[in-house]
Amino acid sequence: MLERRMFLKLVGGGVSAAITSSALAADKAGTVRIVEFDASGVRTGAAQVEKIVKPASEWKRQLTAEQFEVTREAGTERPFTGKYANNHADGLYACICCNTVLFDSKTKFESGTGWPSFWQPVAKENVAVQMDNSLGMQRDEVRCARCDAHLGHVFDDGPPPTHLRYCMNSAALNFTPRGKQQASK
C-alpha cells in the first residue's frame, strides 16, 4: 500500500512521466522486471530477473571506495569531478553494480550542474524512483531497479520532450561505446 501511495504522490508531483508502479518495487518472489538491450542499444525484450542483494562486505570488494559510498550509502560525488560529466561519446550507461542498462547517450544533455544529466532513462522499468527527505529537502531519488544502487536524483527542470533532468553520479555508472559488449558483473 505504501508503494501505491508513493506512486500516486509522484504522479501528482509532476515527475511521474517516466515512472511506473512496476519500477517502484520487486514482486513477492524477489524478482524485478527489467528491459534488456543489445550492444547497439536496441531493446531485445523484457525479462523477470532476480533482484540482486549482497552484504556490504561483498559490495566493498566489488566497488571502489567512491563507488561504494555513492551507490550503497547514497553519497554524491563532487560536481564537475565525475568521469562522465563531459563525456560526449555515443553509447550506453549501465549500473556500475549490476550492469543493468540505465541510460542512452542520445538522451544526455548539458545541464551545467557538473553531473551527467539525461532527460529519460533507457527504459522506465530499469530505474526506481523514491522520495528522499535527506539534507532538509524533499527530492526524488533514482535507484537501479535490479540492485537498488543509488544513482542520483530526478528533477522537473530538464529539456523537452520530458522536461526531466536525471542528474546522475558518474561513480554509479559504467559507459560502453555503442556496438561494444558490456563486461558482465
Q: Cell match 527504459: residue?
A: 123
Check residue 61 and report its DSSP letter. H
Q: Is 96 exposed, middle or buried (0-12, 13-18, 19+ CB in 10 A)?
A: buried
Question: Is 147 part of the annotated catalytic residue set?
Answer: no
Distance set, CA 80 to CA 45, 97, 108, 127 (Å): 35, 22, 15, 24
Q: What is the pLDDT along the chain (185 residues), one digit of tens a residue?
A: 333 333 333 333 444 333 333 344 444 459 999 999 999 999 999 999 999 999 999 999 999 999 999 999 999 999 999 999 999 999 999 999 999 999 999 999 999 999 999 999 999 999 999 998 888 889 999 999 999 999 999 999 999 999 999 999 999 999 999 988 766 66
List the one residue out of 50, 136, 60, 25 whose CA is nearest residue 100. Answer: 50
Q: Which element (helix H / strand E) includes 12?
A: helix 2-13
Question: Strand, helix or coil at 30?
Answer: coil
Q: Which of 97, 98, 144, 167 is catalytic?
A: 167
Q: pTM above 0.95? A: no
